[in-house]
Structure 1
Amino acid sequence: MHDRERMSGGEIRAGGGLALVFAFRMLGMFMVLPVLSTYGMDLAGATPALIGLAIGAYGLTQAVLQIPFGILSDRIGRRPVIYAGLLIFAAGAVLAANADSIWGVIAGRVLQGAGAISAAVMALLSDLTREQHRTKAMAMIGMSIGLSFAAAMVIGPLLTRAFGLSGLFWATAGMALFGILIIAALVPAAPRVLQHRESAVARQALGATLRHPDLLRLDFGIGVLHAILMATFVALPLALVERGGLPREEHWWVYLVALFVGFFGMVPFIFYAEKKRRMKQVFCAAVAVLLFCELYFWLLGGGLTALVLGAVLFFTAFNLLEASLPSLVSKVAPAGGKGTAMGVYSTSQFLGAALGGIFGGWLYQQGGLGTVFVGCALLCALWLAIAVTMREPPYVTSLRLSLSPAALRDEALRERLLAVPGVADAEVVAEEAALYIKVDTQKLDRTSLERLIDPAPVRAEA
C-alpha cells in the first residue's frame, strides 16, 4: 500500500522530463512576445500588421494540427510524433533565425507551430503513470507551462538585447533539440499505449463536446484571452517606449515585476473561488478587471509608472483566468470527455492567439496604440456578456476507476451509480474496463460507490 501512495522513480522521471520538454518548447514559443513589436520593425518589409501576424502565426498551424497529431500518436506511437514535432519546431526556429525579412520570421513561426506535440506528450504521460498519480504528473506539466511563460517574458528581452532576434531564435532551436535528448535519456519507455479519455481526444466524444453550451463558452473565453494577450503584446512594448520612455533593452524588469506580483496576487482568489464555491463570480470579476485594464491603457497609461501598474493588474487578471479556465473545463466536461474537451479548448486557445496577433497588428497600423487597446476592450466586453450567462459550474472531481469483469457485465451499472449520493455523472467504457465518473467529494457516499463497482479496493485518480 505504501508503494502505491508514492510516485515511483519512473513516474517522477516521466513527469519531470515531460514537464521540461513542455517548458522548453513554450519558452521558445513565448520569448518573442515582449520583443517582436520593438525589434521586429528592423526587419526588411516589416509593418505593424505583419509584426502582429508574426506574433500569432504559430497558433494557425498549432490549432489545425493539435488534435490530428494526438490521434496519430495513438496509431504510430508517442515518441515518433514527439520527436518529429520537436524537429519541426527546431526547423522553424532555424528558419526564423536566418531570416532577414519579416516574411521569413512569419514562415518560421508557422513552421514552429506545426510541431504540435502537446496532445502526444499528455498521452505519453498517461502511458507512464498510474492512475492515482496521474493528476500529480499533469500538475507538474501545468506548473511548467506557467513558469515558462513567466520566464519567457524576462529571458526574451535579455537574450534579444545580448544576441538580437536571430540569437533568440537560435536559442529556441537549441531548446527543442535538448527536448529530444530529455525524451531519449530521461523519460522511460512506455510499456503500453493506454487509451485514456481523461488525457486524450476520443473521437466518440467530439460531437457532444462541440455541442455543449458551457464548454463552448469556455472555448470562446480561452480564445479571447489569448487573442487579447497577443494583441496587447503588439501594443504594450511600444507603449513602454513611446509613452513610458523606457528603452526596449530595459523592458525585462517591467515584465518581471508584473508577473511576480500578478502571480501572487491571483492565488487568494483561486483559493476563495474553490473553497467558497464562487468560481463563476470570481471568473466574471477577472474578465471585468481585464476589461478595465485595456480601458486604463487606452485612457490613463501615459507614463512609465502608470504602465507598470496597469501591467501588474493585467497579469493578475490574466493569470487568474489562465488558471481558472482549465479547471472549469474539467468540471463542466461530461464523464469520460475531459480529454476531448481539453483538446478542443487547446485548439481554441491557439486559434485565438493567431487571430489576436493579426487583429492587434492590423489595429495598430490603422490607428495606433489607442486603437489596439480599444479593440481589446471591446473583445473583453463581448466575453463578459457571454461569461455572465454560464451556469455555476458543478464542484466535482473526475475519477477513472478500474472495473472488475463482474461489474462490466452489469448492464444497469450506470443507472445505479447515478443514484449514489454525490455522483454527478458516469460513463462505462467496456473496451478500457474502466468507469469514468464525476463526484462531489463533499456529498459522496463512498461505501455505496465501492460496493457497486468492486468489493476490492477502488483505484482512483482524483
Structure 2
Amino acid sequence: MSAVPLRWLLTLAALSALATLSTNILLPSLPVIAQALGGDEAALTASVLGVFLAVFAFAQLIVGPLSDRIGRRPVVLGGLVVFVIGSAVCGVAGTLPWLLAGRALQAIGVAAASVLARAAARDRFEGPQLAALLGRIMVVMAAAPGFSPLLGGLVQAAWGWRALFAALVLAGLALAAAYIGIVGETLPVERRRHQPAGALARGYVVLLGDARFMRPALATAAILGALFAFFGTAPLVLARDFGFSALQVGLFFATSVFVVFAAGQTAPRWAARWGGPTVLRLGAALAMLGGLVMLAGGAAGLAGFGLAVAIFLFGMGLVSPTGTALALTPFASQAGQASALLGFLQMAAAACMTTAAATLPGARMAALALVLAGGGLLALLSGAARPAAVARAS
C-alpha cells in the first residue's frame, strides 16, 4: 500500500465522503431551514433525508454500469457538475419543493462520486490490498460525518443556512479539479463493457444470485443503514434528552471520528491475520452489542449513550471496508456495476432504517437502539455462513 500516493487516496476518500458531507452539514441547521421555508421540522427532516436517499439509491444503478461502458472520468465529472447545480438550487430555494428538487440533483451527483470512488479503487487493486485501501479511505472519509455537523453549525452561525450550500458548491468544484489532476481515468478502453440494457439487467440478476457478492453486500448495507439512522436520530436524542446545542451536537460527532479512525486502521490488519469473513462477523457482533448497550443503558445518561455509540461505530468501522472488499473482489470485469448494486443496497437500507428510527413508537433513544441492534444482527446473519466461494474471496 506504500505505492498508493496520498493525494490519490485523499481524492477517492473525498469523493466517497461527499454524500455524507452534503447531508450531515445540514443537520444542525434543519430547524432554521424549516422556519425559513415555513415547514414543520420533523416533516422537513424526513423529506430532505428521504428524497436524497431514494434518488441516491436508484441513481447508482445507472451510473455504475454507465461507467463500465464509457469510463470513470466522464461519469464522475458529469456527476460533480450535476451536484454543483443541485447545491446552487438548494441555496436559492424559497420553498420546500425547490429545496427537494435541488436535493434530488445533489443525490444524482454524489451517486456518481461515491460509486466510482469504490470502482476506481477496484480498478487498481484487489484482495488484501483492496481491503487495506478501502480501510484507509474510510479512515480519511470518517472526518466527513464526524466534522461536517460542526462545520455546518459554524457556517450557519456566521453566514446563515444558505451559505451551507455555497460551501457545497465550492466543494464540488474543488473535487472536480482534484479528480482531473490527480486520479483521472482508471478503466482502460480494453476493459470497458459495451452491454445492451438486457445484458445489464441480467448482470444485476447474476450479482443478486451470487453469494460471494450478496452475503458481504447485505452485511455492509445493514450496518451502513444503521449508521445513517444514527446520523438522522442522534442529533434529536442529544438535543432533547441531554440539552445539547447545535455546536455541542457537532462536537459530539467530531469526537466520534476517532473511534472510526481506530476501526479503519484495525480492520485491514485483522483481515490479513484472520480473514475478511471473520472480521466482518466480529464487527457485526460489536455493532449489535452497541445497540443493546444503548437499549439497556438509557438510565446511565450521556456516559451510557456515548459508550454504546463508541461500540457500534467501532463495529461499523470493521464491517464497512471488509464487507466492501469481499463484495467487489471477485468481480473485476464489472466493478462499476457491482459497486452500483452495493451502493443501492446500502442506500435502500439507509432509507428504511432512518424511517424506522424516526417513526418507531416510544423514546427516540430506544428506537435508535433497536435499529442499531437490528442492523448489527442482520449483518451478523448475512455474514454468519461462509461458503467456500466467499472464503476464497477473502
TM-score computed with the length of structure 1 as normaliser: 0.68
Q: Is the 8 A contact 2:126 2:329 kept in 1?
A: no
Encode CA deviations 1:154-198: one digit per residue, 9 max, x unaligned. Answer: 32332233233211121011100111222333345668335389x
Alignment of 1:252-267 (within 5 A): 252-261=250-259, 263-264=261-262
Q: Is the 8 A contact 2:224 2:350 kept in 1?
A: yes
Shift in Å, 1:347: 0.9
Matched, 1:236 2:229: no
Alignment of 1:390-409 (within 5 A): 390=382, 392=384
Quote the Cα distance in structure 1 between the aligned partners of 2:125 and 2:267: 31
* Match of residue 66 from structure 2: 72
Encode CA deviations 1:434-455: one digit per residue, 9 max, x unaligned. Answer: xxx9477xxxxxxxxxxxxxxx
CA 1:143–1:195: 2 relative to 1, 3 Å: farther
Encode CA deviations 1:384-437: one digit per residue, 9 max, x unaligned. Answer: 554454465669xxxxxxxxxxxxxxxxxxxxxxxxxxxx659xxxxxxxxxx9
Quote the Cα distance in structure 2 between the aligned partners of 1:356 and 1:106: 20
Which of 191, 194, 208 is matched with 1:195 structurally? Answer: 191
Quote the Cα distance in structure 1 between the aligned partners of 2:378 and 2:17: 32
CA 1:29–1:97: 2 relative to 1, 3 Å: same
Alignment of 1:58-69 (within 5 A): 58-69=52-63
Residue 376 of structure 1 aligns to which amino acid in structure 2?
A: L
* Match of residue 104 from structure 1: 98
**CA-atom RMSD in angstroms:** 4.0
Q: Is the 8 A contact 1:97 1:167 kept in 2?
A: yes
Shift in Å, 1:52: 2.0
Larger displacement relative to structure 2 (247-256 or 336-345):
336-345
Matched, 1:161 2:157: yes
Quote the Cα distance in structure 2 between the aligned partners of 1:76 and 1:272: 37
Quote the Cα distance in structure 2 between the aligned partners of 1:282 and 1:358: 27
Shift in Å, 1:54: 1.0
Shift in Å, 1:344: 2.1
Q: Is the 8 A contact 1:70 1:119 kept in 2?
A: yes
* Match of residue 336 from structure 1: 331
> Over alpha carbons, which structure has the higher Rg?
1
Matched, 1:313 2:308: yes
Quote the Cα distance in structure 1 between the aligned partners of 2:317 and 2:192: 24
Shift in Å, 1:308: 5.5
Matched, 1:345 2:337: no
CA 1:332–1:272: 2 relative to 1, 3 Å: same
Larger displacement relative to structure 2 (86-95 or 105-114):
105-114
Quote the Cα distance in structure 1 between the aligned partners of 2:366 and 2:127: 47
Shift in Å, 1:356: 3.6
Larger displacement relative to structure 2 (88-97 or 100-109):
100-109
Asked which structure has the greater RCO (Cα within 8 Å, sep 6+), the reply is 2
Alignment of 1:21-32 (within 5 A): 21-24=15-18, 26-32=20-26
Q: Is the 8 A contact 1:295 1:374 kept in 2?
A: yes
Structure 2 gap ranges (5+) = 194-198
CA 1:69–1:262: 2 relative to 1, 3 Å: closer
* Match of residue 94 from structure 1: 88
Quote the Cα distance in structure 2 between the aligned partners of 1:208 and 1:380: 30
Matched, 1:300 2:324: no
Which of 143, 148, 159 is matched with 1:147 structurally? Answer: 143
Q: Is the 8 A contact 1:262 1:312 kept in 2?
A: no
Residue 311 of structure 1 aligns to which amino acid in structure 2?
A: G
CA 1:79–1:62: 2 relative to 1, 3 Å: same
Quote the Cα distance in structure 1 between the aligned partners of 2:254 and 2:151: 10
| Secondary structure, counterpart of 1:246 in structure 2 | coil
Quote the Cα distance in structure 2 between the aligned partners of 1:284 and 1:121: 24
Shift in Å, 1:248: 2.0
Q: Is the 8 A contact 1:227 1:357 kept in 2?
A: yes
Matched, 1:81 2:75: yes
Which of 347, 363, 367 is matched with 1:375 structurally? Answer: 367
How many residues align structurally?
Answer: 380
Quote the Cα distance in structure 2 between the aligned partners of 1:78 and 1:333: 16
CA 1:196–1:144: 2 relative to 1, 3 Å: farther
| Secondary structure, counterpart of 2:188 in structure 1 | coil
Q: Is the 8 A contact 2:222 2:349 kept in 1?
A: yes
* Match of residue 401 from structure 1: none
Quote the Cα distance in structure 2 between the aligned partners of 1:296 and 1:133: 37
Encode CA deviations 1:253-296: one digit per residue, 9 max, x unaligned. Answer: 22222332464378668756763564365234213223225425
Residue 21 of structure 2 aligns to which amino acid in structure 1?
A: L
* Match of residue 196 from structure 2: none
Structure 1 gap ranges (5+) = 396-423, 427-436, 441-462
Larger displacement relative to structure 2 (107-116 or 214-223):
214-223
Quote the Cα distance in structure 1 between the aligned partners of 2:127 and 2:289: 37
Quote the Cα distance in structure 2 between the aligned partners of 1:25 and 1:387: 22
Residue 207 of structure 2 aligns to which amino acid in structure 1?
A: T
* Match of residue 327 from structure 1: 322
* Match of residue 417 from structure 1: none
Matched, 1:177 2:173: yes
The share of aligned pairs that are identical, in percent, is 21
Q: Is the 8 A contact 1:90 1:177 kept in 2?
A: yes
Residue 285 of structure 1 aligns to which amino acid in structure 2?
A: A
Shift in Å, 1:66: 0.8
| Secondary structure, counterpart of 1:335 in structure 2 | coil
Residue 76 of structure 1 aligns to which amino acid in structure 2?
A: I
| Secondary structure, counterpart of 2:93 in structure 1 | coil
Quote the Cα distance in structure 2 between the aligned partners of 1:56 and 1:358: 8
Residue 367 of structure 2 aligns to which amino acid in structure 1?
A: G
CA 1:89–1:333: 2 relative to 1, 3 Å: closer
Matched, 1:275 2:270: no
Quote the Cα distance in structure 2 between the aligned partners of 1:74 and 1:212: 20
CA 1:267–1:49: 2 relative to 1, 3 Å: same
Quote the Cα distance in structure 2 between the aligned partners of 1:329 and 1:257: 25
Residue 307 of structure 1 aligns to which amino acid in structure 2?
A: L
Q: Is the 8 A contact 1:49 1:361 kept in 2?
A: no
Larger helix proportion of the pair: 2
